[in-house]
Amino acid sequence: MTKKKWMTGISTLLLMVVIVIGVIWISGSSSGKATTTEDFEEETSKRDVKKEGKIQVGISNESLEESEDEESKNKEEKSRNKKAEEEKKESAVENKKPSKEVKDEEKEKETAETKTPESKKEDKPTAPTTKVIDPVTKYVDVSSLNVRSGPGTNYKVITSVTDGQSVTITEISSTWGKVKVNGKTGWLSRNYLSDKKPVVAKKEGKQEEPKQTPVEETPTPKNDADKLTTVSGNNQLILVTTDSYGSTSATIQTFEKDGSGKWNRVMNTSGFLGKNGFGKQKEGDGKTPIGKYSIGTAFGQNGNPGTKLPWRDITSDDVWVDDSDSALYNTWQSKSKTQGQWKSAENMTHRLYTYGFVINYNTQRTPGKGSAIFFHTGSSYTLGCVATSQSNVISILKWLDPAKNPVIIMTPSQNLSNY
C-alpha cells in the first residue's frame, strides 16, 4: 500500500468518527435541554470534545492535503527535469553530426557560393567593350599562352601560342587582344606579350644526337646565275629581277662563263620595268614580259659605241609597227616605204632610244601579244621595256658578243629556279 492510499484511509476513518459523534450529539439535543449545572457542563464538555475533534480532523485533512500537494509538486518537478534532460540529450544527439558530413555540407555550400562563370554557358557573361586598332605585332613572352573564344577567362580555350611566337593584334579590350593564330581567331592576355622577340632558352640536359645519314653535298650557289639550270648552252647572261610582280624597280646583273664553266658576275646595277611591273599579256598593258629571250639588233642615234651585235643607226624615217591588224606588226620599218600598210607605229627617234638593243619578244608576231620590247636608256618606269642609265647601256653593248650566245632572263627573284 502506498503512502497516499494510507493517508486517504486515515482521513476516511476520522471522517466517519466525526459523523458518528455528530449523530449522537444531535440525538441528545433532541431529548431536551440540560436542567442542571452538571448536565450543562457535561454537555459543554461534550461539545468541546466534539469541537476539538472537528478541529483535529480539519488539521489532519489539511496536513494530508499539503503533503499530497508537495509530493505531487515534487513528482511533477522531477518529471519536468527528466523530460528536459531527455530533450537536451536528444537535441545534442540531433545536432551532433560526423565531421565528414559537416565538412561535406560546408564544401557544398562553398562550391555553390564560389562557383565561377566558367561552369555556365558562354553566352551568360556580358560582352566587354572592344576597340579596333591598327594591326600591331607582338611576341609571346611566356612558355605557353591560351587563346580564348572571347576577351576573358570565362571563355573557352580554342588554341594556344608558345614562347617567342609572333601575333598580330587587331582589336583590344582592357588587357586582352584579338589575334588570328593557327587558322583560328581568338583573344589572349596582352600582359604576356612583348614588343621585342624574347630569346627562347634552350632546354638543359644532354640530348641524344640523332643519327646522321650521309648525303651528297649540293654546292651552295655563289650568285644568282648558279641557281639557273637552262643556261648551259649560253656563255653570257643578262639577269633582270625584282622582289615582286608589281615592282617597277629592277636589279640588272650581267654574268659571263669562264673556261671551267663557272659563272662570274660582270655588272650589278639598278634599272626600271614597265609602269605595271612584270607579266605582259597584251599590247599596251604597260607590263614587261617574263621569260628567257635571245638578243637582237643593237641601235642608237649617235653611232655604234663599239658593240659586236648587229648595229642599226636610227633615222627620222624609222618606225616600229604596233598595229596588231597589220601584216608588219612588231617589226622595224621605213615609214616612207610602208605608208598605208599600218594604222599605228612608234617613231624610233624617241628620246629614250639613244642607245639600246631589241629583246626578241613575240618574234612570231602574234597579234595583240605585244610589240617593241627593247633594252634602252632611261631613268624611270617604261611602257613595257627595260631601262637603265646610258653609261650602263653602252657598257653592256660593248660587252655583248653574239659568239657567246648571250640571253636575257627577266623574272621576279622567287621564280629564278624556273630557268
The whole-number average pLDDT for the span 212-238 is 78
Q: Which of the listed ranges 112-126, 205-219, 250-264 does the model predict with the highest average pLDDT?
A: 250-264
Percentage of the chain beyond pLDDT 70 is 68
Q: Strand 332-334 and strand 318-321: pairing?
A: antiparallel
Report the candidate in 272, 277, 280, 292 with the shortest Cα–Cα distance to residue 244: 277
Least confident of 4-18, 243-257, 347-361: 4-18
Q: Are 221 and 228 in contact (CB under 8 A)?
A: no
CA distances from 397 to 150, 236, 274, 331 (A): 65, 12, 21, 21
Cα separation, 145 vs 253, whole angstroms:
48
pLDDT at 84: 66
Number of helical (H) and strand (E) elements in the chain, helices listed first: 5, 19
Q: Is 391 helix (H, G, I), strand (E, B) or coil?
A: helix
Q: Is the pLDDT of residue 225 over 80?
A: yes
Least confident of 79-93, 111-125, 302-316: 111-125
Cα separation, 405 vs 390, whole angstroms:
23
Reported pTM: 0.50
Q: Which of the listed ranges 91-105, 207-221, 277-291 does the model predict with the highest average pLDDT?
A: 277-291
Between residues 198 and 172, the one the model is more confident about = 172
Sign of CA dihedral 247, 252, 258, 263: negative
Cα separation, 323 vs 370, whole angstroms:
10
Q: Is the pLDDT of residue 205 over 70?
A: no
Half-sphere exposure of 45 (CA within 13 A, CB side): 6
Q: Strand 345-347 and strand 332-334: pairing?
A: unpaired
How does pLDDT run across 274-328, given as a tens digit for each residue? 999 999 999 999 999 999 999 999 999 999 999 999 999 999 999 999 999 999 9
Least confident of 161-165, 238-242, 244-248: 161-165
Q: Is 417 helix (H, G, I), strand (E, B) or coil?
A: helix
CA distances from 44 to 35, 55, 83 (A): 13, 16, 57
Report the candidate in 295, 250, 267, 242 with the shortest Cα–Cα distance to residue 387: 250
Stated as kind and residue range, the H or E segment containing 92 is helix 37-95
Q: What is the dihedral of CA 332, 337, 343, 347, to 10 degrees?
A: 50
Cα separation, 165 vs 167, whole angstroms:
7
Q: What is the dihedral of CA 147, 149, 151, 157, to 10 degrees?
A: -40
Percentage of the chain beyond pLDDT 90 is 51
pLDDT at 90: 56
Q: Is the pLDDT of residue 346 over 50?
A: yes
The whole-number average pLDDT for the span 240-252 is 95
How does pLDDT run across 381-418, given as a tens digit for each residue? 999 999 999 999 999 999 999 999 999 999 999 999 89
Cell matching residue 232? 648551259
The DSSP bridge partners found for residue 162 are 144
CATH 2.30.30.40 fits 131-194, yes or no: yes
Q: How confident is the model at residue 124 (pLDDT cuts 50, 70, 90)?
A: very low
pLDDT at 182: 83
Looking at every residue in the chain, the average pLDDT score rounds to 80
State the amino acid at position 415 in one-letter form: N
Report the candidate in 385, 198, 377, 134 with the shortest Cα–Cα distance to residue 276: 385
Select which of 295, 376, 400, 408 is catalytic.
376
The question of whether 385 is a catalytic residue gets the answer yes
Report the candidate in 117, 176, 179 with the shortest Cα–Cα distance to residue 151: 176
Domain boundaries, the chain: 3-87, 131-194, 224-418
Q: Is the pLDDT of residue 94 over 70?
A: no
Cα separation, 161 vs 143, whole angstroms:
8
Q: Is the pLDDT of residue 99 over 60?
A: no
pLDDT at 18: 78
Give the start-end residues of each E strand in 73-148.
131-140, 144-148
* Residue 190: alpha-carbon gap to chain centroid: 11
Q: Is 406 helix (H, G, I), strand (E, B) or coil?
A: coil
Cα separation, 406 vs 367, whole angstroms:
27
State the amino acid at position 143 in one-letter form: S
pLDDT at 88: 61
The question of whether 350 is a catalytic residue gets the answer no
Give the start-end residues of each E strand in 227-359.
236-242, 249-257, 263-272, 291-300, 311-313, 318-321, 332-334, 345-347, 355-359
DSSP characters over 20-75? HHHHHHHHHHHT----SHHHHHHHHHHHHHHHHHHHHHHHHHHHHHHHHHHHHHHH
The whole-number average pLDDT for the span 7-31 is 72
Least confident of 133-147, 203-217, 274-288, 400-414: 203-217
Q: How many CB atoms lie within 10 A of CB 151?
A: 23
Select which of 385, 396, 400, 407 is catalytic.
385
